[in-house]
Amino acid sequence: MNNLTTQILTADPTGFAAAAQIWQAGGLIAFPTETVYGLGADARNDTAVAKIYDAKGRPSFNPLIVHVDSVETAKLYVEWSDLADQLAKAFWPGPLTLVLPLRKDSAVSKLVTAGLPTLAIRVPAHPVARALLTEFGGPVAAPSANPSGKISPTTAGHVEAGLSGRIDAILDGGACGVGLESTIVGVTDPAILLRPGGLAGEDLAAVLGYTPASHKDADPLVAPGQMLSHYAPGAAVRLNATDKTEGEVLLGFGDMDCELNLSARGDLVEAAANLFGHLHRLDALKTAGIAVAPIPETGLGKAINDRLRRAAAPR
């Protein structure tokens, strides 16, 4: 996907309305936050979220941070707690991301959490981000707006240099004040520092009453490096299958006979959008095995195959 005309929107009511409309239609917009520019999409829309990974050229489905306009909106998506409330009161809006249990009735796409039972969420402080989120009224999933492996952008010009032609619009809100990604805290008891960032560790410790352990020596379940191995179906997963054997169901790709198809027309963005949902549905059939058709190792296929290899790994 390298053929879009990337519009530059201005930070005024006309620009905000245009941006909200693009999000509603499933498009991608880079927007300023106080930390870095984010590449945002409607967090409830599987296809829109898949397009984020495609535009960034991410080789794997790292879970994404959801941006909302207020604590009230955050509570629609995560299980809130007293500690979450304490941290939000002290630091929201601002450069702090909280990782909390995902609500069972949360409408957030499984591609946002990469199948995890937790969700990273924050209320950004940048006035442009706040105005946009209020105008849109929904949750916005956004990683930093740079091609995978490149430096995080702190101006609209950085975003344009990296992603022009791959996203629908860039909302130009000037340079980011913090210039460093948000601090990420796992809201467990005790709290865990998952990523140091724009909120100083001392300020966090002052509110917590202790210095949180960093993820290296904390619960491996919530540490980012471990997360992608968390979700594996109960059934054995067999890759590059051209046919199913006794006791298996077939997860297809391209025009073929199968129980569920990631994309009958062989579209990798559609396949990514369907990946976690289809794996869950086939797993719920409680068969001995899930055979998966070959997925081309190009574009989003790399991230899909990365995910499938983890699901198929011996455990």
Binding site for ligand TXA (CB under 6 A): 33, 35-36, 38, 62-65, 97, 99, 113, 116, 118-120, 142-144, 181-182, 184, 194-195, 222, 224, 227
| Helix and strand totals (H; E) in the chain | 11, 15
- Residues 234 and 286: beta-carbon distance below 8 Å: yes
Q: Among ligand TXA, Mg ion, none, what binds residue 109 when CB lies within 5 to 8 Å by partner kind?
A: none
Q: Among ligand TXA, Mg ion, none, what binds residue 128 when CB lies within 5 to 8 Å by partner kind?
A: none
Handedness of CA 57, 4, 179, 130 (dihedral sign): negative
> Where in 142-171 is the site for Mg ion (CB under 5 A)?
144
**Least gap, CB of 75 to Mg ion (angstroms):** 26
All residues at 6 or more sequence positions from 21 whose CB lies less than 8 Å from its CB, including other chains: none
Entry field: residues in the chain: 315
- Looking at the DSSP bridge assignments, the partners of residue 32 are 37
Nearer to ligand TXA, 112 or 250 (CB): 112
> Where in 100-129 is the site for Mg ion (CB under 5 A)?
none
- d(CA 136, CA 147) in angstroms, rounded, equals 25
Handedness of CA 252, 309, 66, 148 (dihedral sign): negative
Nearer to ligand TXA, 177 or 254 (CB): 177
Q: Among ligand TXA, Mg ion, none, what binds residue 36 when CB lies within 5 to 8 Å by partner kind?
A: ligand TXA
Starting from the edge strand earliest in sequence, which strands make up the sheet with 289-292, in order? 236-238, 289-292, 248-252, 260-261
Q: Among Mg ion, ligand TXA, none, what binds residue 97 when CB lies within 5 to 8 Å by partner kind?
A: ligand TXA
Nearer to ligand TXA, 109 or 144 (CB): 144
Nearer to ligand TXA, 97 or 305 (CB): 97
**Which region, judged by CB under 5 A, interacts with Mg ion, from 138-146, 163-171, 277-285, 297-305?**
138-146
- d(CA 274, CA 300) in angstroms, rounded, equals 12
Q: Among ligand TXA, Mg ion, none, what binds residue 142 when CB lies within 5 to 8 Å by partner kind?
A: ligand TXA
117 phi, psi to nearest 5 deg: -85, 5
133 phi, psi to nearest 5 deg: -65, -35
**What's the Cα-to-Cα distance from 113 to each of 74, 120, 121, 158, 295, rounded to whole Å?**
15, 8, 11, 27, 22
Q: Among Mg ion, ligand TXA, none, what binds residue 139 when CB lies within 5 to 8 Å by partner kind?
A: none
Nearer to ligand TXA, 62 or 264 (CB): 62
**Least gap, CB of 261 to Mg ion (angstroms):** 32
How many residues touch Mg ion under the rule CB under 5 A: the total is 1
Nearer to Mg ion, 181 or 267 (CB): 181
Nearer to Mg ion, 58 or 278 (CB): 58
Picking from 138, 139, 136, 199, the residue whose alpha carbon sits closest to that of residue 171 is 136
**Least gap, CB of 143 to Mg ion (angstroms):** 5
Q: Among ligand TXA, Mg ion, none, what binds residue 235 when CB lies within 5 to 8 Å by partner kind?
A: none
- Residues 98 and 63: beta-carbon distance below 8 Å: no
Nearer to ligand TXA, 197 or 289 (CB): 197
Query: Binding residues for Mg ion, per CB under 5 A?
Result: 144
